[in-house]
């Protein structure tokens, strides 16, 4: 009964969206990616490009001068925070600092007035929804029982790449028999240890991707909520939870998490998206090594599974929006020389194709791009002995690599790592990727550059932000709706 009500609600939502669509063509674009993938920077750059875009040769509608204007308008959903475009742009341009990262869902509406190629005037309403990729990776949980979740989480935690990071949690678990009477303090302690383990897997040098439940890392407005006080337990196979046991308590909380947290996100936000860009910090995974790359691949399976969620009932099949295009984007391509941009794209393409081959596909058109939403570096050739080597130049953020390694003011030239021509080479664990290095070969893999200086017009407004292939992303995501 509940699921019927649920589906009727979804259908009603969809009908309302469709009715609006008839009078007012609307596109809901989801922007997601794990923390630090580059969602805030990408979203800010996308809005800025649409509002003041230049230098977008591959985004045809813009290149052909057919976009008359794009204006911000009040968003349709009052209960969702607004994406702080103005604040983020000011941080980026005025302070040359990176804006505050995405920690919850936010939204912004942009109305684009354009001239269709066959003449006349039209407008397209673009609703942008920026949300943590951790929440997207929660959707496959809807099809899992607590026992499935516990078994999968523990096999991940015990895998060689993670076992050391999981040791404190696994230690706590050893002392927690599922049959003991439920105890709030013990549940809290296990949940805290489990959360610490997930967080340890997200540090730059480890860079794991597959870390459900997503709200443990990105709680949004659930910070400190009892909905998050559960953890996987070591269950004997086929074990039924005895009433009043720790097992029963954890199972109940897991089910509550699915019903009160994951399903509402699916119904109210995800199921209403038309298109989706998934940002991935592929370079961070490459820098962290083969285990991180393998984990990223597993996470891609989860992402593709998420796009199929909710497809399995006749009611939703009839009424539901379909996500018809998905773009996977490797971000921060400005950390590489342009000779490697295609290679970065090829690596991501291979990851996505392998995941697609394992899953049943999504029914959506899928593409892959390597981009930098805001390009923080430029290229140069640096003489080193007799050789001339390609280098990238930017201003490293202050205080990295020791207190006074960088002052945040001076430029530095670094040698980007060479990506292999054949992406298959990277899947050979004996072949690590070496990221940025300085002239002495120092390890700058995780170096962060400050945002670039931006030219302004006579009124002091920022002109186009430099980027890499942002126009290609825009053309794929919006081009056909502006034709």
Q: Which of 247, 320, 332, 337 binds ligand GDP (CB under 6 A)?
A: 332
Q: Least distance (Å) from ligand GDP to the CB of residue 150?
A: 29
Q: Minimum distance between the CB of residue 224 and ligand GDP, rounded to whole angstroms? A: 21
Tokens 């007035």, residue located:
113
Task: Give the whole-angstrom CA distance, residue 305 versus residue 358.
Answer: 10
Q: Are the beta carbons of 309 and 142 closer than 8 angstroms?
A: yes
Looking only at residues 374 through 413 of this chain, which bind ligand GDP when binding is defined by CB under 6 A? 374, 376
CA R_g for the chain = 23
Is position 285 an interface residue for ligand GDP (rule: CB under 6 A)? no
The candidate with the shortest Cα–Cα distance to 218, out of 260, 159, 181, 261, is 261
Residues 101 to 140: which contact ligand GDP by CB under 6 A?
Answer: 101-102
Q: Which long-range contacts (CB under 8 A, 24 or more apart) does 53-57 make?
A: 53/464, 54/463, 54/464, 55/464, 55/466, 55/467, 55/471, 56/470, 56/471, 56/474, 57/471
Cβ atoms 430, 373 nearer than 8 A: no
Q: How far is the CB of 413 from ligand GDP (least distance, A)?
A: 15
# residues near ligand GDP by CB under 6 A:
20
Report how far residue 14's alpha carbon sits from residue 268's, in angstroms, rounded to the nearest whole number: 10
Measured from the CB of residue 137, what is the shortest distance to ligand GDP in angstroms?
A: 14
Q: Which one among 37, 49, 110, 206 touches ligand GDP, defined by CB under 6 A?
A: 37
Give dist(CA 93, CA 451) in Å, integer: 8
In the list 334, 345, 471, 475, the residue contacting ligand GDP (rule: CB under 6 A) is 334
Under rule CB under 6 A, residue 203 binds ligand GDP: no
Query: Which residue, 41 or 351, has its beta carbon nearer to ligand GDP?
Result: 41
The smaller minimum CB distance to ligand GDP, of residues 263 and 450, is found at: 450
Q: Tokens 């008839």 — which residue?
A: 22
Stretch of residues binding ligand GDP (CB under 6 A), selected from 37-45, 50-58, 236-244, 336-344:
37-45
Question: Using CB under 6 A, which of 14, 26, 29, 38 touches ligand GDP?
Answer: 38
Query: Nearer Cβ to ligand GDP, position 34 or 170?
Result: 34
* 98 sits near ligand GDP (criterion: CB under 6 A): yes
Least distance to ligand GDP, CB of residue 479, Å: 21
- Residue from 40, 106, 245, 316 touching ligand GDP (CB under 6 A): that is 40
Nearest distance from residue 395's CB to ligand GDP, in Å? 11
Q: Which stretch binds ligand GDP (CB under 6 A): 33-41, 199-207, 407-415, 418-426?
A: 33-41
Shortest distance in whole angstroms from residue 457 CB to ligand GDP: 23
List beta partners, residue 388: 383
Kindly state the helix (H) or strand (E) to which residue 149 belongs, with its residue range: helix 146-158
Alpha-carbon gap, residue 378 to 392, rounded angstroms: 6
373 touching ligand GDP, by CB under 6 A? yes
Tell me which of 26, 207, 245, 331 binds ligand GDP, using CB under 6 A.
Answer: 331
Using alpha carbons, select from 335, 308, 330 the residue that is nearest to residue 320. Answer: 308
Q: Work out how close the CB of 354 gets to ligand GDP at its nearest, in angstroms, rounded to a whole number.
A: 24
Q: Residue 10 or residue 273: which is nearer to ligand GDP going by CB?
A: 273
If you search the block for the tokens 């475009």, which residue do you land on?
Answer: 85
Residue choice 39, 308, 320, 341 for contact with ligand GDP (CB under 6 A): 39
Restricting to residues 423-452, name those near ligand GDP by CB under 6 A: 448-449
Which helix (H) or strand (E) element contains residue 67?
strand 67-73
Q: How many of the other CB atoms lie within 10 Å of CB of 171?
A: 10
For residue 336, state whether it binds ligand GDP (rule: CB under 6 A). no
Question: How many CA atoms are closer than 13 Å to the CA of 351, on its beta-carbon side?
Answer: 32
What are the start-end ranges of the H helices in 53-131? Answer: 60-63, 85-93
The residue among 59, 100, 71 whose CA lies nearest residue 83 is: 100
Q: How far is the CB of 23 from ligand GDP (least distance, A)?
A: 33
Which has the closest alpha carbon to 265: 177, 136, 355, 156? 136
What is the rounded distance in angstroms from the CA atom of residue 307 to the CA atom of residue 312? 12
User: Which DSSP helix (H) or strand (E) runs through 380?
Assistant: strand 378-384
To the nearest whole angstrom, how small is the minimum distance from the Cβ of residue 467 to ligand GDP? Answer: 7
Name the site residues for ligand GDP (rule: CB under 6 A). 33, 35-41, 98, 101-102, 331-332, 334, 372-374, 376, 448-449
């Amino acid at each position: 009964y509940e699921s019927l009500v649920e589906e009727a609600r979804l259908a009603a939502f969809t009908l309302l969206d469709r009715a609006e669509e008839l009078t007012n063509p609307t596109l809901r674009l989801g922007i997601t990616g794990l923390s630090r993938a580059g969602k805030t920077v990408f979203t800010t750059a996308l809005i800025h490009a649409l509002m003041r875009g230049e230098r977008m040769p591959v985004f045809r509608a813009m290149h052909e001068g057919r976009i008359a204007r794009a204006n911000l308008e009040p968003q349709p959903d009052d209960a969702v925070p607004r994406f702080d475009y103005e604040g983020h742009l000011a941080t980026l341009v005025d302070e040359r600092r990176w804006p505050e990262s995405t920690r919850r869902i936010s939204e912004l509406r942009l109305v684009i007035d354009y001239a269709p190629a066959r003449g006349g005037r039209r407008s397209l309403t673009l609703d942008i929804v920026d949300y943590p990729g951790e929440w997207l990776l929660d959707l496959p949980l809807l099809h899992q029982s607590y026992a499935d979740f516990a078994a999968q989480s523990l096999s991940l935690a015990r895998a060689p790449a993670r076992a050391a990071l999981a040791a404190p949690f696994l230690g706590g678990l050893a002392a927690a028999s599922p049959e003991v009477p439920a105890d709030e303090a013990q549940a809290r302690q296990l949940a805290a240890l489990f959360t610490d383990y997930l967080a340890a897997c997200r540090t730059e040098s480890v860079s794991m991707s597959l870390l459900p439940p997503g709200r443990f890392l990105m709680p949004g407005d659930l910070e400190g909520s009892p909905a998050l006080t559960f953890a996987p337990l070591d269950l004997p196979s086929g074990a039924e939870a005895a009433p009043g046991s720790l097992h029963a308590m954890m199972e109940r909380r897991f089910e509550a998490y699915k019903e009160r947290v994951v399903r509402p996100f699916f119904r109210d936000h995800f199921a209403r998206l038309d298109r989706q860009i998934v940002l991935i910090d592929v370079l961070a995974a490459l820098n962290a090594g083969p285990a991180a790359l393998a984990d990223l691949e597993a996470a891609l399976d989860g992402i593709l599974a998420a796009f199929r969620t909710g497809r399995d009932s006749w009611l939703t099949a009839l009424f539901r929006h379909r996500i018809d295009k998905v773009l996977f984007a490797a971000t921060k391509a400005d950390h590489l020389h342009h000779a490697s941009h295609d290679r970065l794209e090829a690596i991501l393409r291979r990851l996505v194709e392998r995941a697609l081959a394992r899953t049943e596909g999504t029914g959506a058109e899928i593409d892959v791009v390597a981009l930098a939403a805001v390009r923080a570096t430029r290229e140069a050739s640096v003489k080193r002995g007799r050789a001339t080597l390609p280098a990238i130049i930017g201003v490293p953020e202050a205080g990295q690599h020791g207190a006074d390694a960088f002052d945040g003011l001076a430029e530095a030239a670094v040698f980007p790592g060479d990506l292999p021509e054949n992406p298959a080479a990277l899947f050979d664990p004996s072949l690590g990727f070496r990221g940025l290095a300085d002239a002495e070969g120092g390890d700058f893999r995780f170096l962060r550059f400050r945002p670039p200086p931006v030219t302004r017009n006579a009124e002091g407004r920022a002109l186009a932000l430099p980027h890499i292939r942002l126009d290609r992303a825009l053309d794929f995501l919006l081009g056909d709706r502006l034709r």
